[in-house]
Structure 1
Amino acid sequence: MFDFVDHIWSDLHPILSHFPIALLFFGGALAVASRRWPDLTRFAVLVLVTGAVSTLPSVISGLVAHFPYEESSLHGAVEQHQLLAFGTTLLFLILGTWAWRTRHKPVPGVSTGPFLAVLAVGLILLTVVGGTGGELVYGHGIGVRGVNPLLDATQP
């Protein structure tokens, strides 16, 4: 049951990647809600900044995880996911900085239309990054150990 401990280093990227996904989507929902309920603004800023910062360990662990595939036929698919993740991380670091620097203004950045528009683009990109990561795992079997006993081995 605790076999995962033996593989913790190779599984670090999928573990760390789910934190920014959850935090950034939750922070986005709070930012939208803060327009109606301004008391949520400080919480929205905190969650968005935490989500933005949490992208860094995810990207670093992704860089480490991609090395075994550097010379494989999957290199192109891994690199596509990697480049999308770099761009999305940069966008969220900019958004996190924007949210943090404007948190004490009469109308904090997270409550403005331009911020929410860029945030929406970021969340769409984050969804695409997650989708390409999922395709690497479920479509190409990257990082999968063992065989799913529910699937027939003859299926493509």
Structure 2
Amino acid sequence: MVDFLFTLTQDLHPMVVHFPIVLFFLSFLMALVGLKRPPFPEMEWHLFVLATIASPVAVVTGIIAHRPYEESSLAPVIVPHQLSAILGTLALIALAVWRYAGRRKGKDIGRQNGYRMVALLGLVWIFFVGGTGGQLVY
């Protein structure tokens, strides 16, 4: 009944990884809805911050989960998955810091069309990272 405790380090990543994915997706949706409805841009910011916090957790749990398999035949898939996840997370953190600095000055870039394009590219990146992760699982 408690056998899952012995594989918890490998099992955490699939449980954690979906949080930043859905939070960033919802953040993007709120950015679009926020074009017409005033309260949604603030909700978008909070979802974006939560996605930014959850992303490094997903990366760390992924590195822990993949460690036993890095010298196996899965290595050609693990390496691009890990690198793209790390790069995407670093970009997300940089964007969050930039937005936070802008918000402190009263100039949130989250309300600009250029930001929405960057966010859309971020979703495409997440799709790529998730696809390489799916190759590891299925």
Separation in structure 1 between the aligned mates of residue 37 and residue 50 of structure 2, nearest angstrom: 21
Cα RMSD between the aligned structures? 1.8
- Counterpart for residue 112 of structure 2: 112
Instruction: In structure 1, give the amino acid aligned to 2:126.
Output: L
**Post-superposition shift, 1:6?**
4.5
- Counterpart for residue 87 of structure 2: 87
Percent identical residues: 36
Separation in structure 1 between the aligned mates of residue 74 and residue 6 of structure 2, nearest angstrom: 25
**Post-superposition shift, 1:106?**
5.4
Distance 1:103 1:35, change over 3 A: farther
Separation in structure 2 between the aligned mates of residue 73 and residue 7 of structure 1, nearest angstrom: 21
Stretch moving more, 107-116 or 92-101: 92-101
Contact 1:17 1:55 in 2 (8 A): yes
Asked which structure has the greater CA Rg, the reply is 1
Separation in structure 2 between the aligned mates of residue 66 and residue 7 of structure 1, nearest angstrom: 12
Instruction: In structure 2, give the amino acid aligned to 1:69.
Output: Y
**Post-superposition shift, 1:137?**
0.1
Contact 1:49 1:100 in 2 (8 A): no
Question: 2:9 is paired with a residue of what secondary structure?
Answer: coil
Instruction: In structure 2, give the amino acid aligned to 1:84.
Output: S
Question: 2:67 is paired with a residue of what secondary structure?
Answer: helix
- Counterpart for residue 30 of structure 2: 30
- Counterpart for residue 52 of structure 1: 52
Q: Does 1:39 align with 2:31?
A: no
Q: Which has the higher helix share?
A: 2
How many residue pairs match? The answer is 138
Instruction: In structure 2, give the amino acid aligned to 1:121.
Output: L
Stretch moving more, 84-93 or 100-109: 100-109
TM-score (norm 1): 0.80
State how 1:1-40 maps to structure 2 within 5 Å. 4-40=4-40
Which consecutive unaligned segments of at least 5 residues does structure 1 have?
Answer: 139-156
TM-score (norm 2): 0.89
- Counterpart for residue 61 of structure 2: 61
